[in-house]
Structure 1
Amino acid sequence: MDFELKTMTAAQAAAEKCDVLVVLVGESMKGAKAGKAQDAVARLAATAVAAGDLDTKAGKLLHAYRAEGIAATRVVLAGVGDGSGKRVQSGVQAAMSALRGSKAKRLAILLPEGSGDAAVRAAVCGTADSSYVYVATKSKPEGRELERVIIGVADAAAHKPAFERARAAAAGIEFARELANLPPNHATPTRLGEEARKLSKAFKFGCEVLGPKEVEKIGMGSFMSVAKGSDEPLRFIVMRYEGAAKTDAPVVLVGKGITFDTGGISIKPAPEMDEMKFDMGGAASVLGTFRALAELRPRLNVVGLIPACENMPDGGAYKPGDILQSLSGQTIEVLNTDAEGRLILCDALTYAERFKPRAVVDIATLTGACVIALGAVRSGLFSSDDALADALLAAGDAALDPAWRMPLDDEYGEGLKSNFADVANVGGRAGGAITAAKFLHRFADKYPWAHLDIAGTAWKGGAGKSGTGRPVGLLLEYLLSQAEQGGAVAKKAKGTKR
Structure 2
Amino acid sequence: MSFPLPVVLSSWDEVSDCDALILVSNQPHCQGNAAINSDIEAAQNVDHRIGRETVLIYSNSAPGKRLVLAPTGNLLKDVDDVRNFGDAAKQGLAMAVEAGATKPLIVVEGLPSHSNFQNALAVSYLSACQGLWKPLEAREVMGEEKLEPVTHIFLLDADGKTNAEFLTALESGRRLARDLCGTEPERMAPPKFADYCEQAFAGSSVQVSVESDRKTLETEYPLLAAVARASQSVERHQPRVIHLTYQGEGPIERTLMLVGKAVTYDTGGADLKVGGHMAGMSRDKGGAAAVAGFMKAIAELKPKGLKVIAKIGAVRNSIGADCFVADEIITAHSGKRVRIGNTDAEGRLVMCDLLSHCRAQATSEVNPSLFTIATLTGHAALTAGPYTIYVENGPARQQGLAQQLQASGEAWGDCGEISRPRREDWKIIRPRSEADDVLSSNNGPSVSIARGHQFPMAFLSLASGLDEHGQFAEKPVPYCHIDIAGSGVESGDWQHDKPTAAPVVALASSFLL
TM-score for both structures, normalised by structure 2:
0.84
8 Å contact 1:53–1:62 — kept in the other structure? no
8 Å contact 2:56–2:95 — kept in the other structure? no
Match of 1:472 in 2: 504
Match of 1:448 in 2: 478
Match of 2:71 in 1: 79
- From 44, 51, 62, give the equivalent of 2:55: 62
8 Å contact 1:18–1:106 — kept in the other structure? yes
8 Å contact 2:241–2:312 — kept in the other structure? yes
Identity rate of aligned residues, in percent? 23
Deviation (angstroms), 1:333: 0.6
Match of 1:3 in 2: 6
The CA deviation string for residues 88-145 of structure 1, in whole angstroms up to 9 with x for no partner, is: 2122012123345443222111222779750221121011111112252464455322
Is it true that 1:373 corresponds to 2:383 in the alignment? yes
Residues 298 and 48 (structure 1), Cα distance of their counterparts in 2 relative to 1, 3 Å cut: farther
Match of 2:263 in 1: 258
- From 475, 487, 498, give the equivalent of 1:457: 487
The root-mean-square deviation of aligned C-alpha atoms, in Å, is 2.6
Match of 1:21 in 2: 21
Match of 1:146 in 2: 150
Which stretch of the first structure deviates more once superposed, 88-97 or 454-463?
Answer: 454-463
Amino acid at match of 2:504: V
Amino acid at match of 2:430: K
The CA deviation string for residues 388-414 of structure 1, in whole angstroms up to 9 with x for no partner, is: 121111122122111101120012221
Which stretch of the first structure deviates more once superposed, 176-185 or 77-86?
Answer: 77-86
Partner SS, residue 16 of structure 1: helix
Deviation (angstroms), 1:242: 1.0
- Size of the alignment, in residue pairs? 466
8 Å contact 2:377–2:485 — kept in the other structure? yes
Amino acid at match of 2:8: L
Is it true that 1:274 corresponds to 2:275 in the alignment? no
8 Å contact 1:63–1:77 — kept in the other structure? yes
Deviation (angstroms), 1:197: 1.9
Matches for 1:215-364 after TM superposition, within 5 Å? 215-216=216-217, 218-230=219-231, 231=234, 232-245=237-250, 248-299=253-304, 300-356=306-362, 357=365, 358-364=368-374
8 Å contact 2:412–2:506 — kept in the other structure? yes
Which stretch of the first structure deviates more once superposed, 190-199 or 275-284?
Answer: 190-199
Partner SS, residue 230 of structure 2: coil
Which stretch of the first structure deviates more once superposed, 172-181 or 256-265?
Answer: 172-181
Amino acid at match of 2:19: D
Unaligned runs of 5+ in 1: 482-498
Partner SS, residue 318 of structure 1: coil
Distance in 2 (CA, whole Å) between partners of 1:72 and 1:274 is 43
Deviation (angstroms), 1:274: 2.8
The CA deviation string for residues 440-460 of structure 1, in whole angstroms up to 9 with x for no partner, is: 121233310001111111124
Match of 1:122 in 2: 123
Partner SS, residue 426 of structure 2: helix
Deviation (angstroms), 1:228: 0.4
Partner SS, residue 469 of structure 1: coil
Partner SS, residue 180 of structure 1: helix
Deviation (angstroms), 1:253: 1.2
Amino acid at match of 2:56: H
Which stretch of the first structure deviates more once superposed, 250-259 or 132-141?
Answer: 132-141
Distance in 2 (CA, whole Å) between partners of 1:39 and 1:457 is 41
Residues 343 and 137 (structure 1), Cα distance of their counterparts in 2 relative to 1, 3 Å cut: same
Which stretch of the first structure deviates more once superposed, 95-104 or 167-176?
Answer: 95-104
Deviation (angstroms), 1:260: 0.6
Distance in 2 (CA, whole Å) between partners of 1:28 and 1:144 is 30
Distance in 2 (CA, whole Å) between partners of 1:322 and 1:217 is 15
Is it true that 1:43 corresponds to 2:38 in the alignment? yes
Distance in 2 (CA, whole Å) between partners of 1:79 and 1:370 is 32
Deviation (angstroms), 1:3: 2.1
Match of 1:486 in 2: none
Distance in 1 (CA, whole Å) between partners of 2:72 and 2:245 is 40
The CA deviation string for residues 232-288 of structure 1, in whole angstroms up to 9 with x for no partner, is: 221111111111446545111111011110000000015142300001101110111
The CA deviation string for residues 283-307 of structure 1, in whole angstroms up to 9 with x for no partner, is: 1101111111111111211111101
Partner SS, residue 185 of structure 1: coil
Deviation (angstroms), 1:50: 9.0
8 Å contact 2:291–2:310 — kept in the other structure? yes
8 Å contact 2:178–2:500 — kept in the other structure? yes
- From 373, 385, 401, give the equivalent of 1:388: 401
Distance in 2 (CA, whole Å) between partners of 1:21 and 1:38 is 12
Distance in 2 (CA, whole Å) between partners of 1:143 and 1:106 is 15
Amino acid at match of 2:95: A
8 Å contact 1:215–1:224 — kept in the other structure? no
Deviation (angstroms), 1:320: 1.0
Residues 246 and 235 (structure 1), Cα distance of their counterparts in 2 relative to 1, 3 Å cut: farther
Deviation (angstroms), 1:180: 1.3
Amino acid at match of 2:370: V
Deviation (angstroms), 1:351: 0.7
Distance in 2 (CA, whole Å) between partners of 1:243 and 1:345 is 26
TM-score for both structures, normalised by structure 1:
0.86
Amino acid at match of 1:42: N
Amino acid at match of 2:10: T
8 Å contact 2:218–2:225 — kept in the other structure? no
